[in-house]
Structure 1
């Protein structure tokens, strides 16, 4: 933590003006995901981590359409005539 604080202080000293703004975790999903990765295991400075950005939620709702048409009494005879040539 001390190394991180020192690095932040060095970086901020190079900036002329800066503002800190608190953003809630729920409003910043990508940073929250990276924070969970970082907290899960120790990472050395030289280690590169591949990061996968998930475009859709893990549990996505899929749309369902009724593709079987309803049979109408008057259409059954017409369909039979067109398919078989008889009513």
Structure 2
């Protein structure tokens, strides 16, 4: 009589796993959709800064890690630094 209980527990575990995976996928997609405008603006600002630095020849000066100032911070890959401005 206990043979049926093991399969029921296994079904519940599989069902719980699927619910968790679905929740993670939904959370990831809603995060991507919700922050898409901010991520696009950050990427656009980084591309604009890199192209401006390449045209005026200051790309080597902006890449120095010990330089303090706005140019040293703007070369960061961190979107929060770009969005701060």
Q: TM-score range by the shorter chain?
A: under 0.3
Greater RCO structure (CA 8 Å; 6+ sep): 2
TM-score (norm 1): 0.24
More helix, by proportion: 2
Compare CA radii of gyration and give the structure with the larger one.
Answer: 1
